[in-house]
Structure 1
Amino acid sequence: MHGYQSAALSGRLALVTGASRGVGRAIAMSLAAGGAEVVVNYHSNDAAAHETVDRIRRANGRAVAIRAPIGDDTKVDAMLDQIANDLGALDLVVSNAGTPSSGKKIIATEPHEYSDMLEVHTLGPLRLIRRLLPRLRENDRSDLIFISSTVTRVTPTHSAPYTIAKAATEAAAMSLAYEERSHGIRTNIVAPGLVATDMGQGLVGAMTGGDIAALDTGAPYGRVCRPEDVARVVAFLASPDASYLNGQRIEVDGGGPAGAIY
């Protein structure tokens, strides 16, 4: 488990949504390695979430897992109450939970898919953050970090619902960056390209029928982005070294290889 630097995040309490696997798991582990106590939020995979917690604890980090789909307001409210009662005041929120779209062209995409994507990636997270903002404002420093995607820049085909939802998330994040700056809150965006995760493999399989590992040779530095690459940027943004960064969007894609899916 590798954090940004040892003890850089000591004393912080972080909530990472969608942290049972993939990028979310790597973020949770990196923040814990930096000294933060981490709430591993997840949708449904109990075994994967508890594996994340176990990995953190085996490395002498602190973490708990709480199941609460971000679009389910009742369960989210219960999660936040549990955090406040058992752990204390959050000061770091990483909005990572998400799901891919069906991979169809606009002509074949059902209208409900757009609203479904917006709910998962934008509206649900904003309701979560809206409830937290009064308490986040009381801290000397709080951070909101949104995990987006390079799709908002390159707008690939077969991805309109996902791209639209991520673009909306980025717009909301930029509004928060300016609205909440006077309250000591930093809001930033991390936008990976294709990442070697189960979700990334599903995307590659749907669009090319191939294996994501086969793309390593054509990617920058000989490999597709790994979850740990994203996690290190998140840990940096939450660290004291990034205390004067706000309203920033950092792409983690090695510069964007020619021919990449995105």
Structure 2
Amino acid sequence: MAEAPAAERSTAARRATAAGPLTGRVALVTGGGRGIGAAITAELARSGAAVAFTYRRDRAAAEELAEELGAGGAAVLAVEASVDDPAASARAVEAAVAEFGGLDLLVSNAGVASTGLPVAATTAEELQWLLAVHAVGPHQLVRAALPHLRAHERSDVVVVSSIAVGDAWPVNGAPYAMAKAAAEAMAHVLAREERAHGVRVNIVAPGLVDTEMGRRLVRATQDVTDIRLLDPGSPFGRVCSPQDVAAVVRALVDPACSYLTDQRVVVDGGTF
């Protein structure tokens, strides 16, 4: 599909979105219907970008988010797609381009948790599933998006990873950590390969976040039934929120951050 000229694309996006620093830009956020992804979708849309976001199962939550943001004047499109299916990712890219006339901002956020077993008890099937979702899927998503991203003087890819890669290697979490590490390796290489095409690539690595996945994690590992009970012992007196992560993503793609690429920003309040 031929991409609309930049001027035409920007005009179309501007008509449909509230004015903001990202007005005229078109974003695709994977796993954008819930948790961190929903916060990123909302942050980008409220900053003026036209945003397509994918969801895998929870259609009701995705539709509710799209309606809420649309009522506020944002241009938002919900697309059902599983990131582990390269064909579905390609369709999501084309849906964003068809709806908004182009694509210049990609946030790879979709993810799943591992079962929390030690290496000795982890099956090859679980490892393959985590790699498909966190590494192979994002790789193929980027491949589908690159022809559109390269069409702009500036475009951005943000990979949402985890502090599970690095100093906080999780015991009983090898498949998750391995998959996230692979995704980060892809992002670092991509940043160097695509710099000549104007594509900035950065990584955001959150720690514990108050999401459904985070709440399940603390129940399983700390026997904590309410994640807010961890607020007093957390940096700045509270557990990290999805909005904290979304704000960092938004900052990385701000017009003022045009000279930033191949960086990894940890969002954990300085814990590690």
Instruction: Select between 50-59 and 187-196 the one with higher mean Cα deviation.
Output: 50-59
Q: Distance in 2 between matches of 1:242 and 1:120?
A: 29
In structure 1, distance between residues paired with 2:270 and 2:250: 20
CA contact (8 A) 2:89 2:144 kept: no
Query: Shift of the alpha carbon at 1:190?
Result: 0.3
- 1:239 — aligned with what? 254
User: How far apart are 1:126 and its partner, in Å?
Assistant: 0.7
Question: CA offset at residue 209 of structure 1?
Answer: 2.0
Amino acid at match of 1:116: W
> Contact (CA 8 Å) 1:152, 1:166: kept in 2 or not?
yes
Q: Which residue of 1 aligns with 2:187?
A: 173
> Identity over the aligned pairs, expressed in percent?
46
AA at the equivalent of 2:178? I
Pairwise CA distance, 1:115: 1.1
- Give SS of 1:180's match: helix
Cα deviation, 1:175-196, whole Å, max 9, x if unaligned, reads 0010000100000000000000
Unaligned regions of 5+ residues in structure 1, if any? 1-5, 258-262
Matches of 1:84 and 1:255, distance apart in 2 = 38
Matched, 1:159 2:142: no
Question: Contact 1:40/1:53 (CA < 8 Å) preserved in 2?
Answer: no
1:212 aligns with 2:210: no
Matches within 5 A, 1:42-191: 42-153=55-166, 154-191=168-205
- The answer for the alignment partner of 1:11 in structure 2 is 24
Aligned to 1:260: none
For normalisation by structure 1, the TM-score amounts to: 0.93
Q: Please say if residues 14 and 37 of structure 1, whose CA atoms lie closer than 8 Å, have aligned partners that are also in contact.
A: yes
Give the distance between the partners of 2:36 and 2:28, measured in 1 at CA: 14
**Matching of residue 20 in structure 1 with residue 20 in structure 2:** no
SS of residue paired to 1:195: coil
TM-score (norm 2): 0.90
Q: Report SS of the residue matched to 2:165.
A: helix
Deviations 1:198-221 (A, max 9, x none): 110011111122121111110001
What is the letter of the counterpart of residue 86 of structure 2? D
> Structure 2: which 5+ residue stretches go unaligned?
1-18
Structure 2 partner of 1:3: none
Whole-Å Cα distance in 2 between the matches of residues 188 and 228 of structure 1?
18
Q: In structure 2, how many angstroms separate the alpha carbons of the residues matched to 1:115 and 1:149?
A: 19
* 3-state SS of 1:38 partner: strand
Query: What's the RMSD between the two structures over aligned residues?
Result: 1.4
Q: CA deviation at 1:82?
A: 2.4
Deviations 1:100-133 (A, max 9, x none): 0001111121121111111000101111111211
Q: 1:79 Cα shift?
A: 2.5
* Residues 77, 96 of structure 2: 8 Å contact kept: no
Secondary structure of 1:20's aligned partner: coil
Measured in 2, the distance between the counterparts of 1:167 and 1:81 equals 28
Match for residue 47 of structure 2 among 15, 30, 34: 34
Between the two proteins, the alignment pairs up a number of residues equal to 253
Local SS of the residue matching 2:76? strand
The answer on whether the counterparts of 2:89 and 2:140 sit within 8 Å (CA) in structure 1 is no
Q: Does 1:192 align with 2:206?
A: yes
Deviation at 1:170, TM superposition (A): 0.5
Cα shift at 1:150: 0.6
Structure 2: distance between partners of 1:202 and 1:256: 20
Tell me the alpha carbon deviations over residues 63-87 of structure 1, each in whole angstroms, 9 at most, x when there is no partner. 0101011112232233223222232
SS of the residue 1:230 aligns to: helix
What amino acid maps onto 1:157 in structure 2?
V
- In structure 2, C-alpha distance between the alignment counterparts of 1:198 and 1:186, rounded to whole Å: 30
